[in-house]
Structure 1
Amino acid sequence: MAGIRNGRPYRRLVEQQRRLGLPCWICGHNIPANVDGRRHPLAFTLDHLIPLSRGGDLLDPANARSAHRRCNSARGNRTRGTPQTRASRRW
């Protein structure tokens, strides 16, 4: 599956989603266009509403969402949009 992510259909989907200029679907904040896409935590990434590990379709535009790199990473493969927060332990 890793080879497909480097393929033309996937790159086309990423560019189509990026051009929409939508905010991050997880946190709701705008995604800046002028940041390094490989390193910056606020950079654009393509997230999938239904994670690929849970049967989501890699190339389905209806499954594609715009997200910040850090929001996408924090969400992991959960199906909820917002990352889970841990309750602090009281000792």
Structure 2
Amino acid sequence: MAGNPRNGRPYRRLCAWLRAQRLPCWLCGHEIGYELDARHPLSFTLDHEVPVSKRPDLLLDPANARPAHRRCNSRKGDRTPTAQPVRASRRW
């Protein structure tokens, strides 16, 4: 495959499909500003649950695509998010 596969029609179609669902950010749970400029930190980006750097074959897999804020996606990087431990309330 020549060029960047993220610039191709199948990838743009996957982004459009995910954007149309208007789901909240899968990393922080807050609403995404779908109408914001793409450079805004709270705008929509397509994130991959299993990073493409580890599994390039999952680039176009809809089951691996998740909506995320640009800021959350950048913070996650190419790591697989781990479950956050639930903090117990203080015992009195």
What's the TM-score once normalised by structure 2's chain length? 0.82
Bigger-Rg structure (1/2)? 2
Alignment of 1:9-88 (within 5 A): 9-37=10-38, 39-56=39-56, 57-80=58-81
Quote the offset at 1:81 in angstroms: 5.6
Aligned-pair Cα RMSD in Å:
1.9
User: Per-residue displacement from partner, 1:26-65 (whole Å, max 9, x unpaired)?
Assistant: 000000122101x100010000000011115100000000
Quote the offset at 1:72 in angstroms: 0.1
What number of residue pairs does the alignment pair up? 82
Q: Describe the SS at the equivalent of 1:46.
A: strand
Q: Which structure 1 segments of 5+ residues have no match? A: 83-91
Quote the offset at 1:18 in angstroms: 0.4
What's the TM-score once normalised by structure 1's chain length? 0.83
| Contact 1:32/1:43, CA 8 A, preserved across alignment | yes
Please say which of residues 68-77 and 50-59 is displaced more in the overlay: 50-59
Q: Which structure 2 segments of 5+ residues have no match? A: 84-92
The alignment-based identity, stated in percent, is 60
Which stretches of structure 1, 4 residues or longer, exceed 3 Å deviation after superposition?
none
